[in-house]
Structure 1
Amino acid sequence: MIFRQLFDAASSTYTYLLGCAESGEALLIDPVFEQSQRDLALIRELGLQLKLVVDTHAHADHITAAWLLKQKTGCLIASAAVINAQHLNLPLRHGQVFGVAGVQLEARATPGHTDGCLSYVLLDQSMVFTGDALLIRGCGRSDFQQGNAATLFHSITEQLFSLPDGCVVYPAHDYNGRTQSSIGEERRYNARVGGNANETDFVGYMQAMNLPHPKKIDEAVPANLRSGCPADGRLPAEPDWAEDLRVTYAGVPEVGAEWLLQHAPELTLLDVRHPGEVIPGELPAPCANALAIPLDQLRQRQSEVPRDRPVITLCRSGRRSALAAAILQEQEVEQVASLRGGLLALAHG
């Protein structure tokens, strides 16, 4: 199985990518709206096709990317049936098995943080994705959105602590940089529900927490009841100056050689190699807007780069030109991209 744990620093949210190398199919658990470009880039680079997006609950601290990813890929959306979210394709219930080819999960109802919380267990019980029900050495709060501390205690102790000790716990959040735990660890050491804690201990702890209201709850919850669809039902604006524009998982904007050849007269081509590397006639013709600034001089000479047309940075392999594009973005050059694969790709195109 292909597995990646992804992080959104703004909300301290984990997104999980599970895929099958043999089938090429993948699913995402708890994707974040603002990270959709990153997630799609990773899926593309791993050679996978996104088939399913799954949320563990209706989040109060970020907006899901489920609807947005469905618009971009045609994937299906799944979450708890009890949430009754809009745009849902697969309403999940306790005990239901679901997934994609090569990756199958069992949904376990774990309400208490909210009434629509589900945890997802791999069928071999080697991993469990616990949402906000069980966190690393903690758990989700239970003081809003139909939360109930007693219900959460039973969800954790009966549904999650019944899994094998070695089952790896992957939560929806961690605010201290911790990435994973295990059922055995949490059963013994969880600060709220572990050890010999009983329901009275747990409920007393939870009722005494007195936490501040989530900052984005008034925005996030209504949006998540629409599966992340904006109120106006429109896709967010994205750069459209190049139809071939892609942003890599590394965050590099790129265009391909074929698109560059078609649009060369409309572009500024910025060669960031040293003069000794340049071979006459390498750049596409006609191109009156070619410029050469070695990468190690670009920060000092960035004012020489015209702003009146898109800038495509070039080098042999596309590695130095990727940094050049990032440097120009720092200088607020909005229409800039690196040539994907560099001049090697152009020569073999």
Structure 2
Amino acid sequence: MRGLAFSTPIFRQLVEFQSYTYTYILGCEKTRQAVIIDPVDKTADRDIQLLKDFDLNLVYGLNTHVHADHITGTHLLRKAFPSMKSVLSRASGGKADRLVDDGEDVQFGEQKLEVRATPGHTNGCVTYVWHELRRAFTGDSLLVRACGRTDFQEGNAAALIFIGHNYNGILQTSVLEEKNLNPRLTKTEEKFLETMENLHLAHPKQLDEAVPANMKDGEVENSS
């Protein structure tokens, strides 16, 4: 049975509550091709069901960077959509079906995303820009009224440009809002670097498991 019909490009914002990660499903209403941005292994079944409900064929699983707080769900999504290709920045040094560079396009049906390198949180952070709907998926480079930490995993506050997480319940923001209201981005460069060097945050709980797995497309080593 055919899923729901749409007259405009398909967009869904989803949340995984353990790591407060935002996952996004984007679809072409004409060809039914779709991409998913920053899927999480714990919510892969939910995402698969939603894609099937909408009669979408998942062609790309995109990660904005090598995550430290959760394991990507791309390897699980591929079981339901065997032709899906995982995507990761070449600068990350990780493994994926397709490694992308700044300026490349990711096509899904009649829709496409532009890849923009936005390092700082990690060397391999990218932002996916959907020009048709004027939306940018920044991963951890930019958060609502904050930005990704830079104190480990190749972080470099001096390289950080500008949401993959949010911890206060606000679902979305805009470039204009963050330029004017983000308490980190409104500082001088000197004060910004000082702030980022003195966050004193605990490392993510899944760091030791997540980073090695995400460098290999979410594959977890079998300890047996």
Q: Shorter-chain TM-score category?
A: over 0.9
1:33·1:64 contact (CA, 8 Å) conserved in 2? yes
- Unpaired runs of 5+ residues, structure 2, are 1-8
The answer for the alignment partner of 1:14 in structure 2 is: 22
- Structure with the higher helix share, 1 or 2: 1
SS in structure 2 at match of 1:135: coil
Q: 2:164 aligns with which of 172, 177, 190?
A: 172
Aligned length: 214
Aligned to 2:4: none
Q: Does 1:76 find its partner at 2:68?
A: no
Structure 1 counterpart of 2:185, one-letter code: V
Contact between 1:19 and 1:102, CA under 8 Å: does it hold in 2?
Answer: no
| Runs of 4 or more consecutive aligned structure 1 residues displaced over 6 Å after TM superposition | none
Alpha-carbon distance between aligned partners in 2 of 1:84 and 1:67, rounded to the nearest angstrom: 18
Within 1, Cα distance between the matches of 2:133 and 2:17? 29
Where do 1:96-115 residues align within 5 Å? Answer: 96-115=104-123
Instruction: Please point out which of 171, 186, 189 is paired with 2:178.
Output: 186
Three-state SS of the structure 2 residue aligned to 1:131 is coil
4, 13, 17: which one aligns with 1:5: 13
CA contact under 8 A between 2:140 and 2:148: conserved in structure 1? yes
The whole-number CA distance in structure 2 between the counterparts of 1:204 and 1:33 is 35
Matching residue's letter, 1:206: M
2:97 maps to which residue? 89
TM-score scaled by length of structure 1: 0.60
Partners of 2:48 and 2:80 within 8 A in 1:
no
Given that residues 106 and 113 in structure 2 are in contact (C-alpha distance below 8 angstroms), is that contact kept between their aligned partners in structure 1? yes
Q: How many angstroms does 1:209 deviate by?
A: 1.1
Identity, % of aligned positions: 42
Please name the residue that 1:222 is paired with: 212
Distance 2:133 2:182 in 1: 20
Which structure is higher in RCO with an 8 Å CA cutoff and minimum separation 6?
A: 2
Q: Report the structure number with the largest CA radius of gyration.
A: 1
Deviations 1:244-272 (A, max 9, x none): xxxxxxxxxxxxxxxxxxxxxxxxxxxxx
CA distance in 1, matches of 2:110, 2:145: 31
Match of 2:188 among 198, 208, 221: 198
Q: CA deviation at 1:191?
A: 1.1
CA RMSD of aligned residues (A): 1.3
Residue type at the aligned position of 1:174? N
**What's the secondary structure of 1:138's corresponding residue?**
coil
**Cα distance in 2 between the residues matched to 1:84 and 1:101:** 28
Q: Name the aligned partner's letter for residue 178 of structure 1.
A: I
TM-score (norm 2): 0.92
What's 1:280 paired with? none
Alignment of 1:39-188 (within 5 A): 39-74=47-82, 75-86=84-95, 88-124=96-132, 126-152=134-160, 155-156=161-162, 171-188=163-180
